[in-house]
Structure 1
């Protein structure tokens, strides 16, 4: 390996947080890095890429890697039951919300086995040939990497603007008066031109006792460790999409920043066969509808809304008269693994939607990428998680925003500023859609899917952003100009092994 380094080689060790919304972007990053090495870009550099995680996650990731890939994997031992967690809880997907703090705290106990692995790699390949690329929630890896003498970069799976605002709120909360009304605003100490409402602030810090909250203290420590010890910040976005956001995150972190996105596509599903029926139902429904006419509704793989708001959403969808596909999960008050109950939706709602060929309701999961790529999909009612935002932009689909927590609130704000989003409700812990406000859903759906000037303008801007997102990833082959994100990926590798 020493001779490889002389000719521009290097070993990138990718360490995602243990959550589906983090594992998939890291896998997509690994594929892109592997492709960069195969193309011989950045001075004919040869790269080795290894993803490390716990055994269940590694098994799932392996199944998602195409045949012939040279991406490697390494397992770190993890015993969830030692921390009062379900025995299979190696990802937040199967962790109850109430147990999230215990799960986050437990991930720090992976440190000894992580350091043992990196020490072994550095001893075999040379410290200068190894760079750790770790998740923002694994800040202790930056401290470990510095102590072990290897390079370190932090990877943000969320957007630049929302991350900058969220981290600023965590690290230096704005001083709201007490008591404060939900719409009272304050500027952020780090960004005087960014103002947040009190209800947004509460949905970021999650609890009003934030000053003594151990979970928030943990998150602040992880971010601070990265900012102090890492050698650079890698962001799943592009310069064209998030120019302002990248300026803010550079200012906040003080780190060299590499915008390498959008990194989208792929999944780590363990039961694809069981999901084939949902694929078939959704795509057949879309095939039966006109172009840009269907609303896709999903709050992501882990997020959901309270039961009362689920009823309002259903009433608004029905009243809109627009066709829809809704991937529905149990309400926020219930365990996500609980069997779905009829009373969570209006009486007869599903039957009426089916009889009128207006809508399809699927449980928990839908083939999101295939739906967004379909010509009949006209809008996405989304929680505005960053992976969903990127998939919307990639396919040129406008968004009806219903953000729930943390960075989602500011992803929704960014989409509105870009002209491709309209917000229908905001907040899960605080705020949300009030009782009897189903008209807001109906009106928002009509704004995006209707024939008015606003809808036409959103569709036009979404199409423009689709082209910008794809241009950022042009490989520079056959005489074309390299995209900004490809150039950023090359600079990232050069910074680690140059």
Structure 2
């Protein structure tokens, strides 16, 4: 349906409140705001999910745990797919000194061209509702025309952990309680986790955060209570309504790796995946391969490059493994390698999965916590080093696979082997697993009736319906 047709249709429908969702152009962000759309639409609030043609298609293709096109309570989610100027969809560079996926930067700037179509959409929707609510993620310049909408108001979505955000405001707030000195000394600088070019993009966007009437967090007090309290000193109004991902997951993808997991015993498999923005060098891939095999542990390894800006064009790099490696581990029944997009939620929810070697993106951390799977942390860039610190030092539900302090060093196969054994077969690993299971139960209580997250989303819906 064209924009004009959609606008004409909406003009004949009145709603107490309408929500417009504007995600940042990267997989982890698209995914979080699509899950948030599902939650808000379950309150019979219409949601308009705005993105580019390519990114909208990507979000719907990769969402897990529900079908955004057919689930009854999500029929109120409407997708707006706008074209933007062409940008180079470059392959990732595995040799870059800083592992942030800088090849995606052109797409970040390209998506800023959504400002005009978003402004037009807001003007069309405004007469059909008492209140028009815009939830934006890291690109506030796109929604700056909300100030011209008499019944419009904007809310910032915080796609990062409260720990990451609070670590930056802690000093300026006079070191309030919530982050002790020991943890504060371990927090990496922002400059060490991002490239100067990305910092420039972020700084230009932060100037537009003045439009926000409050902040929404994809977390809960069971995970991050003290850090949410620190953030509350900056955000006069905030809601922690996560985790957004489904708590219970059914096997719906039909992926072959799930059939392999079905044949394994409970908690016997370590799942290895470094997300959609990470690319390892060939040398590091070989070290990882040897370490996994020498651990003697069953493993499911998602081996793929970081996403291009357009995931539907271009072929991924052919990763070179040790001679006859893949055939050997499959014949021996030790492991399976997945070279395409994997159903991560279904893998983490599987009873055979007992550990997760992860880059520690916030989506992955929340999904692992929700499913009660302890982590072996391998942070790469952005918020990932902070999340690893939260997982290992604060929550104590993971172990270190790659130390951020030695991020410039190759992780040797022996270190990988030892990390896998520690997580999967040691007494310490078993204690970590017990703590993770308890945390998982607490998180599930938080999203259940009467839980903190449920109360916060109820309050948010009541606020926008006021």
TM category (shorter chain) comes to: 0.7 to 0.9
- Pairwise CA distance, 1:141: 4.4
- Pairwise CA distance, 1:151: 1.0
Cα distance in 1 for partners of 2:440, 2:464 equals 31
Match of residue 37, structure 2, among 26, 30, 35? 30
**Is it true that 1:456 corresponds to 2:460 in the alignment?**
no
Does the Cα contact within 8 Å between 1:310 and 1:331 map onto a contact in 2?
no
Relative to structure 1, is the Cα distance of residues 109 and 191 closer, same or farther in structure 2, using a 3 angstrom cutoff?
Answer: farther
Q: Which has the higher contact order (CA 8 A, sep 6+)?
A: 2
Partner of 1:387: 363
Number of aligned residue pairs = 428
Cα distance in 1 for partners of 2:69, 2:190 equals 39
Partner of 1:292: 267
Structure 1 portions without partners, runs of 5+: 38-46, 88-95, 173-186, 267-271, 477-481
- Pairwise CA distance, 1:162: 2.1
Partner of 2:295: 320
Does the Cα contact within 8 Å between 2:114 and 2:142 map onto a contact in 1?
no
Cα distance in 2 for partners of 1:138, 1:331 equals 22
Partner of 1:184: none
Cα distance in 1 for partners of 2:327, 2:193 equals 38
- Pairwise CA distance, 1:78: 2.2
TM-score normalised according to structure 2 size: 0.82
- Pairwise CA distance, 1:65: 2.8
Aligned ranges for residues 199-210 of structure 1 at < 5 Å?
Answer: 201-206=190-195, 210=196
Cα distance in 2 for partners of 1:345, 1:199 equals 33
SS at 1:204 equivalent: coil
- Pairwise CA distance, 1:493: 2.0
Cα distance in 2 for partners of 1:321, 1:115 equals 57
Relative to structure 1, is the Cα distance of residues 248 and 205 closer, same or farther in structure 2, using a 3 angstrom cutoff?
Answer: farther
Cα distance in 2 for partners of 1:331, 1:345 equals 18
Relative to structure 1, is the Cα distance of residues 244 and 198 closer, same or farther in structure 2, using a 3 angstrom cutoff?
Answer: closer
Does the Cα contact within 8 Å between 1:15 and 1:133 map onto a contact in 2?
yes
Does the Cα contact within 8 Å between 2:179 and 2:226 map onto a contact in 1?
no
Match of residue 129, structure 2, among 125, 144, 159? 125
Cα distance in 2 for partners of 1:29, 1:61 equals 13
Cα distance in 1 for partners of 2:436, 2:84 equals 45
Cα distance in 1 for partners of 2:347, 2:424 equals 16
Cα distance in 1 for partners of 2:273, 2:158 equals 23
Partner of 2:88: 85
Partner of 1:148: 149
Does the Cα contact within 8 Å between 1:426 and 1:433 map onto a contact in 2?
no
Residue deviations 1:376-397 (CA, integer Å, cap 9, x gap): 1110000001111111011100
Partner of 1:195: 184
Residue deviations 1:92-141 (CA, integer Å, cap 9, x gap): xxxx9444222212222211111111122113334xx1111111x21224
Aligned ranges for residues 161-200 of structure 1 at < 5 Å?
Answer: 161-165=163-167, 193=181, 195=184
Structure 2 portions without partners, runs of 5+: 1-9, 61-66, 91-99
Match of residue 489, structure 1, among 436, 457, 461? 457
Does the Cα contact within 8 Å between 1:353 and 1:360 map onto a contact in 2?
yes
Does the Cα contact within 8 Å between 1:301 and 1:365 map onto a contact in 2?
no
Partner of 1:306: 281
Cα distance in 2 for partners of 1:139, 1:73 equals 21
Aligned ranges for residues 4-403 of structure 1 at < 5 Å?
Answer: 9-37=16-44, 47-59=45-57, 64-68=68-72, 69-75=74-80, 77-81=82-86, 84-86=87-89, 97-126=101-130, 129-135=131-137, 137-141=138-142, 143-149=144-150, 150-165=152-167, 193=181, 195=184, 201-206=190-195, 210=196, 213=197, 215-226=198-209, 228-251=210-233, 253-265=234-246, 276=254, 279-280=255-256, 282-330=257-305, 337-341=314-318, 344-403=320-379
Cα distance in 1 for partners of 2:39, 2:348 equals 22
- Pairwise CA distance, 1:298: 0.2
Residue deviations 1:71-94 (CA, integer Å, cap 9, x gap): 23252532342xx4349xxxxxxx
Cα distance in 2 for partners of 1:60, 1:464 equals 34
Partner of 1:465: 439
Residues 362-371 or 313-322, more deviating: 362-371
Residue deviations 1:247-298 (CA, integer Å, cap 9, x gap): 23333x43411001011149xxxxx99x74xx22x22322222211110000
Q: CA RMSD in A?
A: 3.4
TM-score normalised according to structure 1 size: 0.77
Relative to structure 1, is the Cα distance of residues 239 and 114 closer, same or farther in structure 2, using a 3 angstrom cutoff?
Answer: same
SS at 1:195 equivalent: helix
Cα distance in 1 for partners of 2:357, 2:37 equals 30
SS at 2:222 equivalent: coil
Residue deviations 1:393-436 (CA, integer Å, cap 9, x gap): 11100000001001011111111121111111145xx9437347
Does the Cα contact within 8 Å between 2:84 and 2:110 map onto a contact in 1?
no
Does the Cα contact within 8 Å between 2:375 and 2:399 map onto a contact in 1?
yes
SS at 2:155 equivalent: strand
SS at 2:21 equivalent: strand
- Pairwise CA distance, 1:302: 2.8
Relative to structure 1, is the Cα distance of residues 497 and 155 closer, same or farther in structure 2, using a 3 angstrom cutoff?
Answer: same
Relative to structure 1, is the Cα distance of residues 192 and 395 closer, same or farther in structure 2, using a 3 angstrom cutoff?
Answer: closer
Relative to structure 1, is the Cα distance of residues 303 and 455 closer, same or farther in structure 2, using a 3 angstrom cutoff?
Answer: same
